[in-house]
Amino acid sequence: MKEVSSLIDRILFYALVPSFFILLYLIFIWSPVEKVMGVTQKIFYFHVGSAWVAFLAFFVVGYYSVRNLIKPNMKHFIFAGASAEIGVLFTTITLITGMIWGRASWNTWWSWEPRLVTTLILWFIYVAYLFIRKMDGSWEKIAKLSSVFGIIGCLNVPIVFMAIRWWNSKLHPIVFGEGKGQSGGGIEPEMLITLLFSVFTISLLYVFLMRKGAEIERMRVIVRNQKNKLMNKLAS
């Protein structure tokens, strides 16, 4: 079991390194430069990839929270925590790349627009979730409390999106699909391939980080248990 797990880790790692180089090549050399926005548009590939992972990580947290409430399980608890930590990281990257891109193309760092605000609120919910996990007490208790919050937070995200969409919506380009009265801007085939590859690579990175994060957390638990055992031995 342990060997299989380390084999998966190794395969992931060896897949990850070349794909990142290919991704950089695709983004900076292969894909065409956008006509209006110029080179700044290249940040789009990282931005969309991290945004996708940020929301994916959140739904993974929700999924493991539900599993945890049905039946408390140390492994699911650890997975939810690792996913939330990676989620904070990728949400931060999404916000920062988004701001840089927004400054270049809309001439403003921030605008109160549905997707931006939803991402920001997602970030706050993630951080609050991690605060709950830092509470002291037995892991069963924290697992219950944090799972409850994870589920409530998951419920909230679509409502935030809807609310802000009603509030005002003008700036974000709708690239894919044709909504009502908002026809898609369209995308070059080379750009689409690069984008899909970037989403793939960043998702791979997410899986890799998730496995590593869970492993570190598991080691922490082992060390803590050993420490408690030793303390009890010394005390008695």
Least separation in angstroms between residue 130's CB and another protein is 10
The number of CA neighbours under 13 Å toward the Cβ of 191 is 17
**Interface positions with another protein (CB under 8 A):** 69, 117, 121, 124-125, 127-128, 131-132, 135-137, 140-142, 144-145, 147-149, 151-153, 155-156, 159-160, 162-164, 166-167
**42: Cβ–Cβ under 8 A, 6 or more apart, which residues?**
27, 28, 31
Comparing CB distances to another protein, the nearer of 21 and 131 is 131
Q: For residue 11, what are the CA distances in angstroms to 23, 219, 221?
A: 18, 22, 26
3-state class of 81 per DSSP?
Answer: helix
Least separation in angstroms between residue 111's CB and another protein is 15
CB contact at 8 A, 210 and 75: no
Comparing CB distances to another protein, the nearer of 159 and 193 is 159
Comparing CB distances to another protein, the nearer of 135 and 216 is 135
Comparing CB distances to another protein, the nearer of 141 and 229 is 141
Nearest CA-CA partner of 67 in 157, 133, 147: 147
Comparing CB distances to another protein, the nearer of 7 and 159 is 159
3-state class of 231 per DSSP?
Answer: helix
Least separation in angstroms between residue 177's CB and another protein is 24
Least separation in angstroms between residue 75's CB and another protein is 19
